[in-house]
C-alpha cells in the first residue's frame, strides 16, 4: 500500500476504531470523506490498481466497525459504479461525486427529520434520550425551539458515557437537561411524555439496532405507555437483512467495562461488552426518516425503495457483480 493515498483512510479508520469519531451518521460521513480524499491524492496510472486500492481502503474502514450498517452503506454508496468507469480520472470523478451526494443527502436528512419529528412531540413535554444521536438531537432541538419540550433526561450511556456529550450539547443550547444513570430509566419513565433515540441500523423486520440499553428503555417505555420514537436516516436501513442476514452485534474489549480497574485486577471474572442491542418493532411507535414518519413494519418498503434490494447495493451499478466488501 502506498503511504500517501492511504493516509486519510488510515487516519479515519483509527479515529473510528478508538471512538474518537462516534455516532452512526458521523462515522458514515467520515468514511465517505476519507475515500473521496484518497482518490484525490492517488497518483498511479493504472485503473485496475486504483480499483484494487479502493477495495483495500473499503476493507480497512469497514473492519473498524463491521456491525455498523451505516458505515457499510456509506462505503458502498460512495464507491457505487466506480468499477464500471474506464480510466483513473473517471473513477476519481465518480467517487468524488458519489461522496459529495452522500454527504449532502446525509446532512439534509437530519434537517428534514428534525422538522418532521418535532411535530410528534406534544407541547410541554419532558423527553428522554439515550446515547448521542445527531438525528434525535435535531428533533429535540427543533421541538424545544417550538415550545414543545420543557426538559430532557439524558442517560449516561455507559461504558463510553456518550450521554455526557448529549447533555453538554443540550445545555449549550439552553435546553434544560438532567443526566441519569442508565439503570434509572424505568424509575423516571412515568414522568416522560416521549422517548426519542437514534439508530445504528434498522432491519427489514422493523427491529432497531442501537446503543446497548436502548431495548430495555423501550421495554420500560412500552410498559409505562410512553411513546417511543426512533430517528433514522434511510442509509441506516439494512438491505442485507432483507435477504435473511442477521445484524452482527460488536463485542468490544473488557477494559472499557473494568475502567478504572484493569481486567487483570479481577482474576476469574469474565467480561461481556456488547455495543448494541435490538429493540423489537412492537416496542417502537414510529420511525422518523427523511421520507416521513413510518411504522417500523414499513422498513422493508423503505429498503426496497432506497436500495432496490440487496443485490443492487452489494453489487455495482447496472447489476455488475463487483463487490467492494
Q: Closest by alpha carbon to 116, among 291, 274, 256?
A: 291
Residues 6+ apart with CB under 8 A from 155: 128, 129, 130, 131, 163, 179, 180, 181, 182, 184, 185, 213, 217
Residue pair 91/47 in contact (Cβ under 8 Å)? The answer is yes
The runs of H, that is alpha helices, within the chain are 3-17, 24-41, 47-64, 69-79, 88-117, 134-145, 162-172, 185-189, 214-224, 255-258, 299-307, 310-314
User: What is the widest separation between alpha-carbon atoms in the chain?
Assistant: 64
**Of 53, 182, 200, 277, which one is the catalytic site residue?**
200
Consecutive H or E run containing 228: strand 228-231
Cα of 308 vs its chain's centroid, Å: 20
**Of 53, 131, 182, 196, which one is the catalytic site residue?**
131
DSSP-assigned letters across all residues of 26-39: HHHHHHHHHHHHHH
Cell of 62: 469497514
Tell me the C-alpha distance between 144 and 272, whole Å: 37
Q: Closest by alpha carbon to 238, among 67, 121, 89?
A: 67
289 labelled catalytic = no
Strands 208-211 and 276-279: antiparallel
Q: Closest by alpha carbon to 205, among 244, 231, 175?
A: 244
Active-site amino acid positions: 131, 200
Amino acid at each position: 500500500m502506498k503511504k500517501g493515498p492511504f493516509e486519510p483512510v488510515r487516519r479515519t479508520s483509527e479515529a473510528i476504531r478508538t471512538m474518537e469519531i462516534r455516532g452512526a451518521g458521523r462515522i458514515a460521513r467520515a468514511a465517505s470523506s476519507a475515500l473521496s480524499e484518497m482518490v484525490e491524492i492517488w497518483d498511479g496510472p493504472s485503473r485496475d490498481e486504483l480499483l484494487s486500492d479502493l477495495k483495500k481502503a473499503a476493507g480497512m474502514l469497514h473492519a473498524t466497525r463491521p456491525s455498523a450498517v451505516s458505515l457499510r452503506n456509506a462505503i458502498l454508496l460512495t464507491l457505487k459504479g466506480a468499477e464500471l468507469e474506464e480510466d483513473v480520472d473517471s473513477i476519481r470523478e465518480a467517487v468524488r461525486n458519489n461522496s459529495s451526494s452522500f454527504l449532502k443527502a446525509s446532512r439534509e436528512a437530519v434537517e428534514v427529520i428534525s422538522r418532521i419529528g418535532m411535530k410528534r412531540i406534544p407541547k410541554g413535554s419532558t423527553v428522554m434520550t439515550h446515547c448521542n444521536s445527531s438525528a434525535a438531537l435535531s428533533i429535540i432541538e427543533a421541538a424545544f425551539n417550538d415550545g414543545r419540550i420543557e426538559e430532557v433526561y439524558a442517560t449516561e450511556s455507559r461504558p463510553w458515557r456518550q450521554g455526557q456529550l448529549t447533555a453538554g450539547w443540550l445545555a449549550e443550547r439552553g435546553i434544560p437537561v438532567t443526566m441519569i444513570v442508565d439503570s434509572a430509566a424505568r424509575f423516571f419513565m412515568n414522568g416522560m411524555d416521549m422517548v426519542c433515540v437514534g439508530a445504528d441500523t434498522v432491519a427489514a423486520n422493523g427491529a432497531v439496532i442501537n446503543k446497548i440499553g436502548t431495548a430495555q428503555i423501550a421495554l420500560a417505555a412500552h410498559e409505562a405507555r410512553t411513546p417511543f420514537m426512533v430517528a433514522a436516516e434511510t442509509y441506516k436501513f439494512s438491505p442485507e437483512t432483507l435477504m435473511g442476514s442477521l445484524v452482527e452485534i460488536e463485542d468490544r474489549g473488557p477494559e472499557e467495562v473494568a475502567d478504572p480497574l484493569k481486567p487483570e485486577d479481577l482474576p476469574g471474572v469474565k467480561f461481556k461488552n456488547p455495543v448494541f442491542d435490538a429493540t423489537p418493532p412492537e416496542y417502537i411507535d414510529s420511525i422518523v426518516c427523511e421520507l416521513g414518519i413510518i411504522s417500523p413494519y414499513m422498513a422493508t418498503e423503505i429498503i426496497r425503495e432506497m436500495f432496490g434490494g440487496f443485490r443492487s447495493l452489494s453489487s455495482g451499478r447496472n447489476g455488475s457483480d463487483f463487490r467492494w466488501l
